[in-house]
Homo-oligomer: A and B are copies of this chain.
Amino acid sequence: MSDLPKSVEIREEGPREGFQIEPGPIPTERKAALVNALAATGLQQIQVCSFVSPKLVPGWADADAMMAMVTPPPGVSFTALWFNAQGLNRALAFRDRLKIYGSISFAASEAFQKKNLNRDRAGQIEAQRALAKAHQDAGVAVTRIGIQAAFGCNYMGDVPPELVVRAVQDAYDVAEEAGATITELMLADTMGWATPLRIERTLGAVRARWPDVAIGLHLHDTRGLGIANAMAGLRMGVAKFDTTVGGLGGCPFAGQPGAPGNICTEELALLCGEMGIETGIDLDALIEAGHLAEDIVGHKLPSELLRSGSLDAFRRKAA
């Protein structure tokens, strides 16, 4: 177990993922209330909204209005999501309260990229070059690579590690051309195909080629294996994870209606905490934020831990 990290950064994406997929409408103040509750749990980074087309994502038509209502407390970073220069410009209006960085994004499955973005490999390289330039023109450093469908794809089937390595190489090529220094590489199990063995094989292949970059995991719990995959990542020393409180969000991809989204923040925090891995998170406060999230969206979320409560509460009673 010597590869388990001493501490892990769990990045909350519940507000952004959740409010984009819930049927709504949800009042802007309630969205801000969840962001503020999460910001008081010890989480270090929270993705609070999307600056995307209100036509495509009506749930975040009020992203600008919500941003005006929230301010990160000391030690907490707020981030947002965007896919083009317009979105970046909306984010830049809040640069006093947003951590803004550029990201280079590829799918390991070209079939997924075509379905999702209508771009082949060459088209995505062009698009990412343009986006990196837009960031740099705005004075924003490009520091992150994100790889979607890194463990399997509903349209392609299994995704061999070689295709992940190729996608990462494409991204590094774009970064190098732009003179960008990458500090972080996120591998996403976008459609829930990962298993612990696939995590090990794919991370192994990527690490063999880029031994120095910090690899993070963005895992979906589409088929109930998410936390086992996270554990496989922890065993390989992965120390950055994207998660959503309560399992907010869902799966927007074909053939999986009603399937769950990201792994639950509080369940990963429990797993880490119970194994002595530091997260900085107050688990009971996070569980309360999860109950608030359920209240806001008006239905139960997938998290099991929200039903049963932390173990420390039982330890206190037993003592």
- Residues of A whose CB lies within 8 Å of any CB of B are 1, 111, 152-158, 192-193, 195-198, 200, 221-225, 227-228, 230-232, 251, 255-260, 264, 267, 270-271, 274-275, 302-305, 307-309, 311, 313-315, 317-319
Contacts and interface: CB of A to CB of B under 8 A. Distances in A.
B223 A304 contact: yes
Given A196-B231, A197-B275, A274-B195, A224 B304 contact: yes
B1 A304 contact: no
Contacts of A230: 228
9 contacts: A154-B317, A157-B314, A222-B308, A223-B267, A223-B270, A225-B271, A228-B228, A231-B232, A259-B304
A304 B260 contact: yes
A195 B319 contact: no
Contacts of A156: 318
Contact of A224 (B154, B258, B305): B305
Contact of A255 (B256, B271, B303, B309): B309
Contacts of A224: 227, 264, 267, 270, 303-305
A242 B9 CA distance: 34
A1 B228 contact: no
